Amino acid sequence: MLRVAIAGASGYTGFELIRLLSTHPRVVLSTVTSRTSEGQRLDEVYPAFRGHCHLTFHGTDPDRLAEDAELVFTALPHRAAMGLVPELLQRGLKVVDLSADFRFRDAALYEMWYQEHTAPHLLSEAVYGLPELYRDAIRTARLVGNPGCYPTSIILAVAPLLAQDLIVPETILADSKSAVSGAGRGLSLTTHFCEVNDGLKAYKIGGEHRHTPEIEQELSRLAGRPLNVTFTPHLVPMSRGILSTVYAELKAGTPPESVDAAFASFYRNARFVRLCGSKALPSTLQVRGSNYCDLGWKVDIRTGRVIVVSAIDNLTRGASGQAVCNMNLMAGFEEDEGLREAPWQP
């Protein structure tokens, strides 16, 4: 059994990690830490865990983590993560970091959108934790930068089209709609029930959202040249799920069937990608609680564009489920170990 710990476990991604790890057949969750909930029992903070998980939140001490665990999930805010991660690596631990701190290859890009990077020497070895793109590198990594929720949904939607050179990269445009849990458990008028319920809005449009450079880093790599994308996030009155609708111009002369073929080929071994094609478009409901990314698409002959719809659970595939999948790869387990439960319906 692999002993694991979670640093910063009192938010929604922390809860989702605990949920998945507490029934994972090859793992023992030995420690959970939290600054805000230190000293409290886990089941006081989340009564759902009563009788199910008996841990108490500790403060975040690297020595203690090294004693209790072989692999640590850091679910801390960015900046805090890059303070702790080097300490953990130094003590011989493996790390899956859920913040943005180790998602970028280029410290300058990180610093343009976030802040000064305090551990830039680790960026070259950190692996971007999207298994469909980096499965082999993840297997041997010490440090995985777990992808953002929006980037996961968008990169998986267009990777096959860029890989097969079917679209004009500069025309990529992603319109994403997220559930409210993506905004976390911190209090804000934006996530106050009556300000969200029965309403819908866009936010941080026009290149303001910090997931933009992360999306661009991976799509540029796939395209083989630097590119900018238009990315528009929206807030939807539901608890879980992201639906991204991604648009791009097909290269002249591309037959629609080649789009189908590109998806089938790119994802032929992808355990967690389900191809819905044009007939049965995906819904966030059908992936809720699971690590699946469901993809549907259609070529609009009239405008020469391809439209790809991608559905994930933002807390599972968009954060903690993907982190567990990365741990599975790093530990030599089956990729879907502990992630085989069916989606939640209804």
Range in contact with a copy of itself (rule: CB under 8 A) among 90-98, 125-133, 161-169, 225-233: 225-233
Q: What is the spatial distance between Cα 262 and Cα 157, in angstroms, rounded to a whole number?
A: 11
Work out how close the CB of 70 gets to a copy of itself at its nearest, in angstroms, rounded to a whole number. Answer: 23
**Which is the catalytic residue, given 149, 276, 293, 325?**
149
Cβ proximity to a copy of itself: between 200 and 261 the closer is 200
Q: What is the spatial distance between Cα 297 and Cα 279, in angstroms, rounded to a whole number?
A: 9
| Cβ contacts of 123 within 8 Å, gap of 6 or more | 102, 104, 105, 106, 107, 110, 117
Work out how close the CB of 234 gets to a copy of itself at its nearest, in angstroms, rounded to a whole number. Answer: 7
Our answer to whether residue 149 is catalytic in this structure is yes
Work out how close the CB of 263 gets to a copy of itself at its nearest, in angstroms, rounded to a whole number. Answer: 14
Q: What is the spatial distance between Cα 103 and Cα 128, in angstroms, rounded to a whole number?
A: 6
Cβ proximity to a copy of itself: between 116 and 336 the closer is 336
Q: Which two tokens stand for residue 120?
A: 């830039």
Q: Which two tokens stand for residue 88?
A: 């953990």
- Show contacts with a copy of itself in window 316-345 (CB under 8 A): 340-345
Interface with a copy of itself, residue 51, by CB under 8 A: yes
Using the CB atoms, write b or e for 15-25: b if 16+ within 10 Å: bbbbbbbbebe
CB atoms within 10 A of CB 195: 13
Q: At what angle do helices 149-163 and 256-266 cross, to 10 degrees?
A: 120
Q: Which two tokens stand for residue 237?
A: 């009155």
- Show contacts with a copy of itself in window 96-155 (CB under 8 A): none
- Show contacts with a copy of itself in window 194-223 (CB under 8 A): 194-203, 205-207
Work out how close the CB of 104 gets to a copy of itself at its nearest, in angstroms, rounded to a whole number. Answer: 17
Work out how close the CB of 188 gets to a copy of itself at its nearest, in angstroms, rounded to a whole number. Answer: 7
- Show contacts with a copy of itself in window 242-281 (CB under 8 A): 243, 245, 247, 274, 276, 278, 280-281
- Encoded one letter per residue, x for contact with a copy of itself by CB under 8 A and - for no contact, window 158-197 reads ------------x--x-x-x-xxx---x-xxx-xxxxxxx
End-to-end alpha-carbon separation of the chain, Å? 34
Interface with a copy of itself, residue 309, by CB under 8 A: yes
Q: What is the spatial distance between Cα 271 and Cα 276, in angstroms, rounded to a whole number?
A: 14
Interface with a copy of itself, residue 23, by CB under 8 A: yes
Q: How many residues form the binding site for a copy of itself (CB under 8 A)?
A: 89
Cβ proximity to a copy of itself: between 163 and 238 the closer is 238
Interface with a copy of itself, residue 54, by CB under 8 A: no
- Encoded one letter per residue, x for contact with a copy of itself by CB under 8 A and - for no contact, window 55-74 reads --------------------
Q: DSSP secondary-structure letter at 167?
A: B
Work out how close the CB of 178 gets to a copy of itself at its nearest, in angstroms, rounded to a whole number. Answer: 9
Cβ proximity to a copy of itself: between 135 and 305 the closer is 305
Q: Which two tokens stand for residue 67?
A: 């004693």
* 287-to-30, 314, 330, 342 alpha-carbon distances in Å: 29, 10, 25, 8
Work out how close the CB of 196 gets to a copy of itself at its nearest, in angstroms, rounded to a whole number. Answer: 5
* 246-to-77, 231, 249 alpha-carbon distances in Å: 28, 9, 11
Q: Among all residues, which ones are annotated catalytic?
A: 149
